[in-house]
Amino acid sequence: MAADLISFLQHLVRIPSVNPDNLPGTRHVGEAELAGFLEGWLESLGAEVEMEDILPGRPNLIARFAPRDGRPRILLGPHLDTVGVEGMTIDPFAGEIRDGKLWGRGATDTKGPMAAMLWALRENRGILANLPVALDFVAFMGEESGQWGSKEFVRRYSPEYRFGIVGEPTSMQVVNTTKGSLWATLRTTGRAAHSSQPERGENAILKLTRALDLLDHHLGRALAGFGHPVLGRATMNVGVIRGGSRPNIVPDAAEAEIDIRITPDLAAAGGARALVLEMLEFHALPVSLHSCHENPPMETAENHPVVRKLLEVSAETGLAGAPWFSDAAHLAAGGIPSVCLGPGSINQAHTVDEFIEVAEVERGAAFFSDFVRSMAERVASP
């Protein structure tokens, strides 16, 4: 079994599914090829598979092993896309195995968890149609940018699902709470002039950097007031700054991209966007806010019956929190309580030499297989 599982993961890595946003580094982008392979593979196991385009040529895949007959449903849901391959120091699509590791883009995030989940369904395909709780496999598009796949899925199907187990590299810990995030752009405008007479212009870069310094101080103090016993406090990072065209021109425009990580308390208080706008207005900062993309935090109850069931599968599996966000947060916000779970370390995700330990993939597949078999005993209602 182990060799076949790892060969299967190699095949997944060798199918490029790079998110086309944000410097993909390859012309082989989009999720369609990987989704098409999985469609045939899952149908060979007896699943009824639907492909739903969320953006043109970029589908979600939904595989059902049991009819939609009113029984509660649980989804196993990794994402199809990977981040770009620009700057990688290994062949991103070789799926090479050496030193007990499988190397390539997506090996950890999140084709390793995907392979573990799929292999567990394959090993237990004979019982899936008759479980008291249906187990579906759902592969989401677009997680590495706008999370359009999970947002649209939960909008369409939330009433059908009791719980979501989202495939992410969590070192096989049940991540039941995560931070959310706000990505936004701050812009300033000025007036261009020749740099020999800077007093005749208005330097947009200086306006922006001074505003950022004040915002870092005052907003940083405000964010520190929104803490969490597992996740820690809310934070802000200035990740990108742009402005100007030449050193001898006073710049008339500048912008910065910020990333605020949101705790559940901050979300309950109105969210990060509202707090940023309040700070800009209160301190009369000469910047405007644009391109806001806010993702919710997640906090799924420790005593949820499916969480308890997962913790019973292995003594090595416990609860954990994470500062990142995932499709699970959008599922939970839309009414499907969810967690993240899968083999691999988040420390390897998005790296220039991404890999996953072969033994970890095997451990993940065994865990999910045991979980599938445990579903033969109906999960108690919360």
pLDDT of residue 1: 54
Q: Residues 204-241, buried b or exposed e (16+ Cβ, 10 A)?
A: bbbbbbebbeebeeebeeebeebebeebebbbbebeee
User: Please, what CATH class does the domain formed by 180-295 belong to?
Assistant: alpha beta
Q: Give alpha helix (H) positions in 187-341.
A: 204-224, 264-268, 272-282, 305-313, 327-333
**pLDDT of 251 strictly over 90:** yes
Element (H, E) at 75: strand 73-76
Q: 34-92: per-residue pLDDT in tens?
A: 999 999 999 999 999 999 999 999 999 999 999 999 999 999 999 999 999 999 999 99
Q: Where are the domains positioned within the chain?
A: 2-178+297-374, 180-295
Fold identical between 2-178+297-374 and 180-295?
Answer: no
Q: Is 104 left (phi over 0), alpha (psi -120 to 50) or beta?
A: left
**pLDDT of 153 strictly over 90:** yes
CATH for 2-178+297-374, options being 3.30.70.930, 3.40.50.150, 3.40.250.10, 3.40.630.10: 3.40.630.10
Q: 264-300: per-residue pLDDT in tens?
A: 999 999 999 999 999 999 999 999 999 999 999 999 9
Query: Quick check: helix, strand or coil at residue 79?
Result: strand
φ, ψ at 165 (rounded to 5°): -115, 105
Confidence of residue 23 (pLDDT cuts 50, 70, 90): confident
**pLDDT of 33 strictly over 70:** yes
How far is residue 151's CA from residue 113's CA, in Å, rounded to a whole number?
21
**pLDDT of 216 strictly over 80:** yes
pLDDT of residue 22: 77
Mean pLDDT of the chain: 95
Summarize the confidence of residues 326-354 as an average pLDDT. Answer: 97
Confidence of residue 379 (pLDDT cuts 50, 70, 90): low
**pLDDT of 218 strictly over 80:** yes
Summarize the confidence of residues 170-191 as an average pLDDT. Answer: 97
Confidence of residue 378 (pLDDT cuts 50, 70, 90): low
Element (H, E) at 241: strand 235-243
